[in-house]
Structure 1
Amino acid sequence: MFNKQVSPHTQGWIAPRVREIAPSGIRAFFDLTAGNNDIISLGVGEPDFKTPEHIRAACIRALERGETTYTPNSGLPELREEIARYLRTGFGLQYNAADEVIVTVGSSEALDLALRAFTAPGDEIIIPSPSYIAYSPIAHLNGGTLIEVETTAEQGFKLTAEALEKVITPRSKLLVLNFPSNPTGAVMSYEDWLPVAELVKQHNLLVLSDEIYAELTYDSRHVSIASLPGMQERTILISGFSKAFAMTGWRVGYACGSRVLLAAMLKIHQYTAMCAPVLGQIAALESLRSGLADKDRMKEVFRQRRTLFVEGLRTIGLECREPVGAFYAFPSIARTGMRSEEFALRLLQEAGVAAVPGHVFGSGGEGHIRCSYAASTAKLTEALERMEGFMKVKM
């Protein structure tokens, strides 16, 4: 291979908003582990389970039947019906499958569609901190002005109306939510949502609620902010099949909301992705019809791993609140005196354990690292042993 000369004009061709965003901090640490089998990665939020066999088999049969065509832009009608039924029976939400549900290329596309459809330059987009790293750059790409609202470990990383009210201005338009939370594992109850919902209605905000971890709550049933009085009409609910159904590579998500709002998102979807992959949609359909027991089985394993890992972190001297949802621990590293990026780099280089530095999740994440416990018990145990040795040397 030979090195090509890079034209000095190359950077000028790249749109300013793209130049201004940083590459994914999670992927940066994931890439550092590539090809090194001795590194234990707790970095990427991906279940270590295979997609259940009956779901794979349903797709093989569909492939043999030649089901390889486009689907309607909104997704297979039968899948949209199952999604609406699933949300109704599982979370008490009422959506018309015909025009209030869109199947997307993962929940990531649903988020992008929503931010593109509803953001005008200068609109303020409020994002809790810490939160999933994709919200901020996608909002920036679509011309929004990013406003962080602080959540704290002392309050369980929950969003409070008091903190939210401090950042709302006349230009505030969207509130992006992610509960259960990546990276903190925080969960909001109905009582937690009530004052937040009243504030949202008072200031006429639109809510984008990323509920990809809705199924992974361990102490109570997930409560969507859309289920509160007057909130469904102003909420775009975003979710998918990647996490709870172990279907990350199938790339199937969905968005639900009012007919008018989804019609705006659908226009963009038609000109970009056109439709989610048909085999992924068939897999999603099978998971809703016959895979709920698989989902519950995997959730119970995550629960057991949570107990093992969080107790292990505390034993080695890292303070950690027990996550109530998702599959991430978010321990504090404050006692080490290190910034999160330094801690994560040294943990990787000196102990062979990859975790994500908390600062990549926003200013509220500094002083923490994110560790995924969606890994085998053996790997989690070995990671804790390595981390214990690292902590003894550093402290």
Structure 2
Amino acid sequence: MNRNSFLAPAFIGLIAACSWSADIVAVFPAQGVNTDQSFVDAFGMLLASKYRKISGKDVLPPTKAGRAIGTDSSLVEAARELNASEYLEIEAVGLYLSRKERARVELGEGAESKTIVVRIDNDDDDDDDDDQDLLDNHKTVVTVTRRDASTGGRIHTVEMTLVTYGDIEESTDRIAEALFKKVSVEEVLGMHNVTRREGMGYNKLFVDNLKGVKIGFIYPLARNAEIVSIVSIGYNHRFDSEKFFMEFGAGGRLPTRIDMEEQRCYGGPYLQIGGSYYFLRGIFGLHGGLGLSPHFNMVGNEGIEVGLVPYIQFGGSFPRNSKMQAFLNVKAGQNVMPIITGRDPSSWSSATYPPPVESHPTEVGIELGLGF
């Protein structure tokens, strides 16, 4: 048998062994400031476990990786000693002052002086009290985790805020995946890794001005006439606060059928003013409201008509904590002024127009929009 046939598998095995050793990732002990050591240790161990699962690499937990850190050595030197190709370093900073801690009492003078922070609890019926209790539980922690190469070069960095130690499971899951994929923690948000900060409402102290475009599809329903559907496009301006929004808009509406001579249709410029209340006030907002939409009918008849449509709408907005929001509305409105569709055949050389009919169409439709 050829000698090379024995050497080839050995050579391949050597390469595989080198490749395997190059995939070692060291997770060094987290450095905590103003945090409980037990939390810091648990965070590092759980992150190592999550990163091993998501990356498929050999990951050294903090209990093992930390032994390579000497008194005067750096993390780069420790990573080289462990033959690690990459390492994760963790910083955690505790934010212990509450937004409701407003009063301070000074006791003593000079070196014996003490400052006592007096917490003021607002005993009211606000629905946000439970959320505020989470923020005031003296456990809010900001974590910064960096993925570095063994040479010290930065690969990726993510930051995440935990409002309670109970967020450690969801946060380490997100951080591990974000570091491995080199994306933000927002891009790996899923149904089962939402933290309590993200699950609670966001306080909007100011009214946001969202300007954008809105397109829609309208299906008119009338008892005495069959009217073709309508598409709309227009400008939309929304004043968005925490619990409600007001919106104003203007645009145009056109029938979806081009052969308008043989179809009953109407359309033209429109205005819109309305308001809605948020029933759900998280990142995703669920709202319902009322409005008025004056419009002009300049298509499908012999003149120009003025119409008025009171409407109700239900929909959602996402994400409400961003300066750019997408929204979807389901609407239903009623023309309170008569709409004439069709034309008198005797007034035109062509007799393909349907005869004039006066109706009060009900408008059912859907809208999609984007605001900045």
Structure of greater Rg: 2
Query: In proportion to residue count, which structure has more helix?
Result: 1
Q: Which has the higher contact order (CA 8 A, sep 6+)?
A: 1
Per residue, is there more strand in 1 or in 2?
A: 2
Give yes or no for TM over 0.5: no
TM-score, normalised to structure 1, is 0.22
